[in-house]
Structure formats: C-alpha cells, structure tokens
Structure 1
Amino acid sequence: MSSRALENAIDTLTGPENFVYNGRFTGQKATGVQRVARELIVAMTQLPQINNVTVAVPPGDKILPIDGTKTVKIGFGKGLFWEQIVLPIFAGRRRIVNLSNSGSIFRPRQVIFMHDAAVFDTPAHFSRRFRAWYRIMFWILARTSSCILTNSDFSRQRLAHHCGVPPSRIGVVPLGADHLDTMEPDESVLSQHALTSKQFVLAVSNLNPTKNFARIVEAFRQVNDSSLDLVIVGMKNPIFGKIDDISNVAPNIKYVGYVSDSKLKALYQHARCFVYPSIYEGFGIPPLEAMKNGCPTLVASAAALPEVCGDASLYCDPYSSDDIADKLKSLLYSSEIRADLQHRGHLHADKYRWQTSAQILLNALEKL
C-alpha cells in the first residue's frame, strides 16, 4: 500500500493531527508489552472522543486483529526492518504512536512508550545484542520523540537518569488490570495439570531472570508441604540471557508454560495465593490480575511494585529465599491474612482500568 493510500485509510482523530499506531506487536503473543499495547488501543476505541483508530501492520497472515480498529497492512518485510524502515516511509505525515517499547530511530516527532529501564539497570539479564540495541534506541528516541511515556514514576525516574532527559519530559500512564473481567474462566486447566483448588501456589511471568524463579522454587521447598503444588506460568524468550531451569525440578513443582487468558483466570481464581518476588519491575500487571480475581498476593519490596501494589499485598525481600519462604508461610496458613488481602486487593486493583489509562494517553496525544 502506498503512503497516499495509507493516508486515505486513516480517519481523523481529535486534534489537528492524525495518528497511526505501530502494529508490529499484533503478530506476537499478547504477553507483557504486547498486552499493554493491545489493551490500550482497544480502550482508545471505546473513548467517546475517538472516531477511528488506525493500526499499521506488516504484510502477512499471522496478524491478530484488534477489535474496533482499522487495520492497514502496509509495505513489505517484517519485524525490526519493517518497524525501523518501512513503517516510517509509508506512514507519510502521520505521527506514529509506538506503544510496545520500540520505534524507528530514523523518524522524529513520534510517540514512544518505554516500559522500563531494565536494559540499563539489569543489563546482565539480557542478551548482549538485545541490550546494546535497546540502549541505543532508547537514548535516541528520548531525544527525538515529541512525547515519551512510561507506566510508573519509578520507571520515569530511571529512564530519565539513563537517557539523560529531565523527568518532566516523560509522562506516566498507569496500566490496567481489568482485561480478564468479561472472560469466562477455563477450568479445564485444573484437571489438565492435576491441580486441586486452593492447594497450589501460583507464579506468573516471562522466564526473565529478574522474575526470580530460582528463589521462588527454593522458598517453596522450604515451605515443605507435600499437599501443595507450585504452578509456574510463563514463556521462555531468547532476548534474555541465562534462564533458570525450572522444568522437572520436583513432582509438585509444575511448569505449565504459556496458557490462554481464560485458563490463567481460572488459575488465579483457584490458587491459594500468588507469589511475585520480582527483582525488577517497571510496573507489574500480574499481581493486579491476581488481586482482581480474589487471589491474595506476595510481592517484592523492590522497584515499582510497592508503588503499584500499595497496601494491598504482603511484601518480601526478593534477594532472600528465607524471607520469601517466611512470608509465603504466613500467607498460606493464615486465613485472616488471606481474607484481608483479598478484600484490600479487590478494591485496590479495581482502580486500574484500561479505560482510565487510555484517557490519560489521549490527553497526552491531544497536547501534541
């Protein structure tokens, strides 16, 4: 599709300029930054001020369309090449909105959503090539973009420090946690993995070393309760360096890999508690997902997690498997603590809605 054809396909939003959303992420599974981009765009389409939202995507048949948007396949190629070279050329005069951590370094005056500063703060946990590319890209985009966004004040401060820009240049768009609300839980996941309701501890995340799975496993072993299972949900990703081997550790430690959202909701609803002692988080959606679904949480007292989880979670030292184990025992064997955190968690997580996030995003775009 030509640049003129793309312009004809894009309907005017509010304000003097039009925007086109970078849809490279639509060809990937909806985890992490891909989920954020998808949920923000879906919520944008539901705002009363918005007429149409256009998402530009690479050619191909593996695109997962976004309901309510106008999806436009443009140019040629795929992946990084498409994002860096093809999209900027074919977007014409439209301002590109990049919501999933990356954008073209050759295009000025974009909108870029940087989710955290992990490539600077925890460099050893990424492959050398990925780390080098993202450091260069973030440094350039921090200077050439007309709007820089992130998801927490913690991330704003860290990105400002590493990219050498004032914190006031970076806006904060807190993320949502209500994307599972209308979904029916698929409880077949329980029988599939021989799980008994309220007799398992749940951990959910990509298998990034910062997620601390080795200490989760060690802490669970210290609990030493043969009636309990530890269920680990998450995908392996080649962008990370050495990944803890958590498969085949013990019969009651079950790595189930990636699961659908409906199965994930069932796991949240049937777990005794949720554990998330992550060493580094720019935001942290899984604890909020757990809270929304009545699952009391234990999270790390590190990075953005205290900012995001407030007084609705139990906290632990992520560098101490002993402390994780002690706090986990408190959560597992005190019905009073679990009931209190279930109540607090539901009220707290209910504040994090994608519609609110989208409105904050729209406010930032209108200022342009």
Structure 2
Amino acid sequence: MIFVNARFLTQKITGVQRFAIEISIRLKNSLKDEIQFVAPKNILHEEIAQKLNVSIVGKTRGHQWEQVTLPLYLKKQKSPLLLNLCNTAPINYSNNIVTVHDLAFLAHPKWFSWKFRLFYKFLIPKIIDHAKKVITVSQFSKDEIIKRLSTPENKISIVHNAVSDNLIESKKCSSKSNFILFVGSQDPRKNIQSIIQAMKYLPPEIHLKLVGGKADSFNEQLNEIPKEIRHRIHLTGYLPDKELNRLYKDANAFVYPSHYEGFGLPPLEAQALSCPVVVSDIPVFREILKDSATYCNQNDPSDIANKINLICNQTGEERNSMIEKGRRNVERFSWGESAAIIEKIITHYC
C-alpha cells in the first residue's frame, strides 16, 4: 500500500496544489486500492476528496498534522512509502518521496516573512536529505536544488506540470477584447507592480485584469496607482476554471513578468486557450516556453508595454502563427505522462 499526503486538499488551489490534484487523480485511477490518500479534517475541496476516497486522520491540522499526527499514524501502519506532492513532508519519517517545486525562499529570502524563511530553511534541506527520491518540476529547479543544497543529481527526477482538462474542455474561439490578463498570486515574485507601471505606456483603451489571491500589501500598492490608469485595472480575486477559461480566450495577451518560478503554469494555460503570452526573460521560461512566447525585460515597464503592444498590433497571420506555436508547445506536456513517471518511481521504492 502506498500512502499520499493529501494535506493539499486543505489549501487554496495554486499551481502547486493543482500539480498535486492532477497527479493524485491519475494515480488513483491507475493504482485503485493500492494507494491511500490521508488528510487532516479541514478539507476545502470535498468533491476531489471523494474522488480520491480520502481518509481523515487525527484531529490536528496544518504543520502539526503533517509533522506529528501523520508520521505517528504511518508508523502504526508499519511505515509504508509516503508520497508528498506539495513542498513539505514529515521530517521524522524516512520512507518518503518528496516534491520540491522551487527554492524561492533561498534564492530571494526578502520576499518572505522571517518565520516562513526560518521554517523552510530548516525543513526543506532535511526532508530532501531524508527522502528516498526528490521530484521537481523543471530542469531549472533541479539545478537549483543541486546548487543550493548539494543534492546528488541522480536523486532528483523531473516531473512537469501540464494544463488541466477541465480548464480547456471548451476550446471554442472567442472574440478578443481590449484587455490584457495576469493570473497568479500577488506576492512580490510575480512582479505585478511592473505590469501596472507598464499600463502608463499602453493605449488608454487597453485594460488590465488581475486574477488571483490578493496579498496583504497589495492594497497600499493599488492606492499608489496614478488616477489616470486606476480605472483600467480590475482585480477579480480567485475565479473558477470556467470563468478563467473565458478570460484566457478573450484576452488580447497574457502577461507574466515574474522574477522567479519553478515552472510557471499560467503561461502554458494561456497558450492552451489560444492567448499569446508575454513573459520575463528568465531561464525557466526559456526552458518551458522556448520560442512560443514573447520575452520582456521584467525590470523595465516600458519594455513590458512594448512587447504587449507588439502582440496587440500583430496582423491576423502573425497572431495565428504565435497561437499555433503556443499550442504545439502545450502538447509537450501531459498530466498522464507526468503521473506515469511518478508511478514508476513509486513502484521502484515500494
């Protein structure tokens, strides 16, 4: 029996949780009763939990559940193999496969609270060191883990993200509207402030839609936006996949000038829904998107605006060519293939 740490079902869905959900559903379909998902009681995604036939373990939650309740429970089950898909794992449990999506807390510590930095600097090296195998989502992240934590290269396997079926279930073309789109959290690494500054250089008819959770510091930043562009910036908060699907298809361009990513799933989602993308010129995007994206200097709002204008002013033929490149790029990634790699890893260590 293989056990999966399903604490991700108690968290809001970002790229990390989506990875866990998509992989878990496919592993459940393949391994049937040979795999058991366990979670704390405060589950947010009941429908997914039912699909996975999740067992509730203990009365604790959060890190206490993961670091105390879960390993105690597993030891009573004769210490089976545990698969962890969302960065964290029990420290005092060695029969582990762990997934580490990125090392942003080491690469850019100033983006995180001191408590977060302290905890992750203690936790991540230990769980990687204790793990039987480490999974990560890109060659860039693998190189980071090797460089920053001196992890042996042969201990790390790359398992890519992909685009979820429920997001792209409708590929029907939609008429383009005069807005550009960003999807993601509003933490510092996403560099939303540079997109907002870029709006000053764009034609007044172009609006910006920001989709995702709002960071506490973002209200202050919003108040500092010049009045002449404030009415062109729209915060939607989290949106269900059906509404997100429509926005991707309606947008003139998708903009993602992130400073640091382990993979960066939203540009791939945009490409799957025929939306050309402008992204920062960082190594992981060169790896994942290759020649299917338009690259910008993420530190220069005027360059971001120039690249957005480039897409907005394309001829129909030029735009279709970029859309086709994006679609071909999306086809390189598959949740089915990624789950098969993990299943092979599991089988090896079981």
Same fold judged by TM-score > 0.5? yes
Matched, 1:231 2:209: yes
**Equivalent residue runs for 1:345-364 within 5 Å:** 345-364=326-345
Distance 1:26 1:83 in 2: 13
Distance 2:5 2:238 in 1: 25
Q: 1:113 aligns with which of 76, 81, 99?
A: 99
Q: 2:287 aligns with which of 307, 329, 348?
A: 307
Percent identical among aligned pairs is: 28
Distance 2:116 2:250 in 1: 37
Q: 1:84 is matched with which residue? A: 67
Deviates more, 1:317-326 or 1:290-299: 317-326
Q: 2:26 aligns with which of 43, 46, 49?
A: 43
CA contact (8 A) 2:183 2:266 kept: yes
Distance 2:99 2:23 in 1: 11
The 3 A distance-change label for structure 1 pair 287 and 356 is same
Deviates more, 1:98-107 or 1:196-205: 196-205
Distance 1:274 1:321 in 2: 15
CA contact (8 A) 1:180 1:265 kept: no
Q: 2:6 is matched with which residue? A: 23
CA contact (8 A) 2:22 2:164 kept: no
Q: 1:11 is matched with which residue? A: none
Q: CA deviation at 1:133?
A: 0.8
Q: 1:136 is matched with which residue? A: 122
Q: 2:52 is matched with which residue? A: 69
Distance 1:203 1:337 in 2: 22
Q: 1:5 is matched with which residue? A: none
Q: Residue deviations 1:218-261, cap 9 Å, x none?
A: 112211x12211111111357xxx55845464101111111111
Q: 1:207 is matched with which residue? A: 186
Distance 1:147 1:50 in 2: 23
Residue identity in the other structure for 1:226: P
Deviates more, 1:149-158 or 1:342-351: 342-351
CA contact (8 A) 1:203 1:233 kept: yes
The 3 A distance-change label for structure 1 pair 106 and 169 is same
Q: 2:304 aligns with which of 321, 324, 328?
A: 324
CA contact (8 A) 1:316 1:327 kept: yes
Q: 2:244 is matched with which residue? A: 264
Q: CA deviation at 1:180?
A: 3.3
Q: Residue deviations 1:113-161, cap 9 Å, x none?
A: 0000101101111111111111111110111011111000100010122
More helix by share: 2
Q: 1:365 is matched with which residue? A: 346
Residue identity in the other structure for 1:348: N
**Equivalent residue runs for 1:184-203 within 5 Å:** 197-203=176-182
Matched, 1:58 2:48: no
Q: 1:147 is matched with which residue? A: 133
TM-score (normalizing by structure 2): 0.91
Gaps of 5+ in 2: none
Distance 1:307 1:69 in 2: 32
CA contact (8 A) 2:167 2:242 kept: no
User: Tell me, what secondary structure is at the counterpart of 2:236?
Assistant: strand
Residue identity in the other structure for 2:251: A
Gaps of 5+ in 1: 1-17, 191-195
Distance 2:209 2:215 in 1: 19
The 3 A distance-change label for structure 1 pair 245 and 259 is farther
Matched, 1:254 2:237: no
Matched, 1:337 2:323: no
Q: CA deviation at 1:296?
A: 0.5
Q: 1:14 is matched with which residue? A: none
User: Tell me, what secondary structure is at the counterpart of 2:121?
Assistant: helix
CA contact (8 A) 1:296 1:313 kept: yes
The 3 A distance-change label for structure 1 pair 60 and 273 is closer
Residue identity in the other structure for 1:221: K
Q: 2:145 is matched with which residue? A: 159
The 3 A distance-change label for structure 1 pair 44 and 164 is same
Q: Residue deviations 1:74-120, cap 9 Å, x none?
A: 11211110011101111232221110111111111211100001011
Q: CA deviation at 1:41?
A: 0.5
Distance 2:278 2:168 in 1: 25
Distance 2:106 2:134 in 1: 17
Q: CA deviation at 1:179?
A: 3.2
Distance 2:20 2:289 in 1: 21
User: Tell me, what secondary structure is at the counterpart of 1:235?
Assistant: coil
